[in-house]
Structure 1
Amino acid sequence: MRTGRRTKRWFWRWRSNPLRRRIDVLEAWLVLAVCALVAVGGTLAGAVAALAADRVFARQRAERTAVDAVLLTNTPAAASNSYRTRAEVRWTGYDGSVHTGTTLVGSGKNAGARVTIWTNAQGSLVTAPPSRETAAVEAGLLGTGAALAVTGLVVGAWGVTRWCLDRRRIGEWGSEWDLVGPQWGHKTS
């Protein structure tokens, strides 16, 4: 059974206390600043990164166009249908000109088969843009990564600052003990 009063007090560094030092008050304000930076800065960085990534993916979906092409070479068969291999394809551009290039296509296709490729506004081969669902997941992951990076930087900076404060505090304790310590000692002989 517990008896006695609770000795731990919230916000003790801000309360009037004869043992409170200026460095304790400074540390209390720094803890508050770190919490605010993690909450606000991490959230803001995550939101900005996610929105920027989402804009990039939306621009890719708008700029890239699916085009029908003809496979010029056979592709080797694979055990999995999801396996893709490089093959040469031919397609007709927007201006009616014929283009050839190398891109990734599904395995096990014969020359002359129709495949879908993606081109940009200049008619060059590009990768397929991410779907809305994939783009949303990637934007979320990038936003989370940015938020965690900001949080890691803030917490790391706080760790270095705390180390410096502790070194200073230990130095102050040492100099105070040099003044008080001899008064506590007594001679035995």
Structure 2
Amino acid sequence: MKPAVGSIARYTRRYRLDGNPLRRRADRLETWALMGAVLLVLIGIWPAILAGRLAYDSALADSRVGPGARQQVAATLLADVPRAQVTFGTVAVRPPQVMARWTAPDGRTHVGYVPAPQLAGAGTAIPLWVGPDGLPATAPVSPAMAGFRGAGVGLVMAMTAASLALTAFLVVRWLLDRRRDRDWDVAWERATPAR
């Protein structure tokens, strides 16, 4: 525990704004750059929260169900589901598509290919999500998935802001280190007696 406390104390002393006459102008500029980077990270949190909230709300809006949105209906398979050709090292990416008939919420009958579970036979009723037009649609996103999507977007935004602020600070520090090295070389030349 002592090394962690010691390093925190060392950085606190290093980046402190005080009237120490031994601090060079470059040291004070580096302190201001660090404070600016921390401020940018703190300011970047709010847009990240807003972006996460917008992503969450968008996912919830896309998952609406009911009249005028997607609804679940029963589709009747018109053919047997073909057996999957399973070989060593291959995995089926999607469920097989089979011809089926379903009645949309508006009363129209549709026929088309729908994803079906393995080994289902003709005449089997399967659940199918359809959009307002009666055509197959994706299943709605659960509230938990909407929350994960919002949290993920917010986290990515916050990490991007922190990365940009850290990069800016490191560039400023590198430039200041070059300046300190030049100043050190000049001071060393002045201090070295000519032979």
Superposition TM-score, scaled by structure 2 size: 0.74
Unaligned runs of 5+ in 1: 1-5
Q: Which segments of 5 or more consecutive residues in structure 2 lack a partner in the other structure?
A: 1-5, 87-93
Match of 1:143 among 154, 162, 165: 154
Helix, strand or coil for the counterpart of 1:106? Answer: coil
SS in 1 for 2:105: coil
- Residue in 1 that maps onto 2:70: 64
Question: CA offset at residue 96 of structure 1?
Answer: 2.5
SS of 1:101's equivalent in the other structure is strand
Residue of structure 2 aligned with 1:50, choices 36, 49, 52: 52
User: Structure 2 vs 1, CA of residues 21 and 101 (structure 1 numbering), >3 Å: closer, same or farther?
Assistant: farther
Q: What one-letter code is carried by the residue in structure 2 that aligns with 1:60?
A: D
SS of match in other structure, 1:111: coil
Determine which of 85, 95, 101 is the counterpart of 1:90: 101
Matches of 1:150 and 1:37 in 2, distance apart?
A: 7
Q: Cα–Cα, structure 1 residues 136 and 172, in superposed 2: closer, same or farther, change >3 Å?
A: same
Q: Taking every aligned residue pair, what percent have the same amino acid on both sides?
A: 30
Match of 2:24 among 21, 43, 56: 21
For 1:31-81, what per-residue CA distance to the aligned partner results, in whole angstroms no more than 9, with x for missing partners? 11211222331x2243123211211111112132222212233224579xx
| Aligned equivalents of 2:120, 2:146: Cα separation in 1 | 29
Q: C-alpha distance in 2, partners of 1:105/1:158?
A: 55
User: What does 1:21-170 correspond to in 2, within 5 Å?
Assistant: 21-41=24-44, 43-62=45-64, 63-76=69-82, 84-170=95-181
- 1:10 — aligned with what? 13
- Return the alpha-carbon distance in structure 1 between the equivalents of residues 173 and 98 of structure 2: 58
Corresponding residue for residue 181 of structure 1: 191
Q: How far apart are the structure 1 equivalents of 2:15 and 2:57?
A: 47
Is the CA contact (8 Å cut-off) linking 1:57 and 1:135 kept in structure 2?
A: yes
Q: Deviations over 1:124-148 (max 9, x none)?
A: 3221111112222232223222222
CA RMSD of aligned residues (A): 2.9
Conservation of the 8 A alpha-carbon contact between 1:75 and 1:110: yes
Question: Which 10-residue stretch deviates more, 125-134 or 12-21?
Answer: 12-21
Dislocated runs of 4+, deviation >6 Å? none
2: CA distance between counterparts of 1:102 and 1:161? 60
Counterpart Cα distance in 1 of 2:101 and 2:24: 77
Contact 2:30–2:172 under 8 Å retained in 1: no
Query: CA contact under 8 A between 2:71 and 2:105: conserved in structure 1?
Result: no
Task: Tell me the matched-pair count.
Answer: 176
The letter for the 2-side match of 1:146 is M
Q: What is the aligned partner in structure 2 of residue 3 from structure 1?
A: none
